[in-house]
Amino acid sequence: MTKLPERSRPRSLWPEMSDLFAGLPSWANIRPALGSHVIRVEDELKDGSYELRAEVPGVDPAKDVDVTVRDGVLTIKAERSEKKETNGHSEFSYGSFIRSVTLPVGADEDAITASYDKGILTVSVPVTQAHEAAEKHVEVQAAS
């Protein structure tokens, strides 16, 4: 009885995508090196109000959250600091978090309110029924 060699699985000339990135740090680990983390948000415009909900768990809203508005841009900044050092594994993010969003046309920047409950920051912005700006066409001239 002869033993035939086992057939190996044919390999592609192209490496697997995971092989290309093996040994490199993950994006989650690179973000802190770039400065700050992005705050995840959801928003909606309904009943004359723009409402933005931002995920910022584990912070003291009175001390660690700053909400500002300038020139139609709403910015949320938060800071979460680690309370104790551990030798275990953690996927929690600590440090500075920031997110800016452009407010809709007709937003009343002077009447913005914000509240915090169970890790969710809710920012409400009244929006007046501003008239839609007419579309303006700009003539494009050819260079001579």
pLDDT at 108: 94
Contact 103, 69 (CB under 8 A): yes
pLDDT at 29: 43
pLDDT range class, residue 144, cuts 50, 70, 90: confident
pLDDT at 137: 86
102 pLDDT above the threshold of 70? yes
% of the chain exceeding 70 in pLDDT = 67
pLDDT at 116: 96
Contacting residues for 69 by C-beta, under 8 A, at least 6 apart: 75, 103, 109, 112
The CA-based angle 34-39-44, given to 5 degrees, is 145
Entry pTM: 0.63
Integer-rounded Cα radius of gyration of the chain = 25
